[in-house]
A and B are shown apart, each in its own frame.
Chain A
Amino acid sequence: QVTLRESGPALVKPTQTLTLTCTFSGFSLSTSGMCVSWIRQPPGKALEWLARIDWDDDKYYNTSLKTRLTISQDTSKNQVVLTMTNMDPVDTATYYCARGGNLGWFDPWGQGTLVTVSS
């Protein structure tokens, strides 16, 4: 059974850097074709894809947020980490990690973690 779980701070201050961890099980990111993505959803708004990391450590970013995002993996821990710099209140959202993205689909998704940006 494939599962993913997001973890990180629930509250960050403006200008701070957000670090989120996705811990997964049921698959290996070392397997050819595997990848993990991050997607966010502001309250009451649509989904927005953020970034993806592939089995061969290739990385892809939302072009609008590219300068603020870094995605990395710790294969030994089955974890993918996303950092987002210079946080702003408009970045308040539920952040999801999900398996997939290289073929345009995401399955399954983690339960999501709500991050609020406020002073």
Chain B
Amino acid sequence: QSALTQPASVSGSPGQSITISCTGTSSDVGSYDLVSWYQQLPGKAPELMIYEVNKRPSGLSNRFSGSKSGNTASLTISGLQAEDEADYYCCSSAAGTIVVFGGGTKLTVL
């Protein structure tokens, strides 16, 4: 199980939108709608932001959205805020068995 591929870093100014990509294979991202995204603030545990490609947990801001096309999933954050600065990880499960994470993307709010 190889790690999913994410850009090491992305940046944006407050109010802008950014998109983080997550590329897998036809065995994981491409075959199942079991993609999730996590935000990890410095020194904290990861927090679920998106599950099953595009679903948001209750109470999460609608500024966060997810999508998928082929073997690539994406997380979009609109109306960027300083508090969004964090590491973001994607995750994919193959048929609910083996799980693989992405290498993580550091988001900097300029």
A interface residues (Cβ-Cβ under 8 A, vs B): 37, 39, 46-49, 52, 60, 62-64, 96, 101-112
Contact = CB atoms under 8 A, between A and B. Distances in A.
The A interface, classified by DSSP as helix, strand, loop or mixed, is loop
The 8 closest A-B pairs by CB, nearest first: A104-B34, A104-B93, A105-B51, A107-B48, A105-B36, A49-B99, A109-B45, A47-B101
Contact of B91 (A63, A105, A111): A105
B104 interface: yes
8 contacts: A46-B3, A46-B104, A47-B101, A49-B100, A52-B99, A103-B51, A103-B52, A104-B51
Contact of A103 (B3, B93, B103): B93
Given A46-B3, A101-B99, A103-B93, A110 B36 contact: no
B68 to A, nearest CB: 12
A52 B99 CA distance: 10
A83 to B, nearest CB: 19
Contact of B1 (A62, A101, A102, A105): A62
Contacts of B32: 104
Contact of B101 (A48, A103, A110): A48
Interface string B10-36: 000000000000000000000010111
Contact of B45 (A52, A64, A101, A110): A110
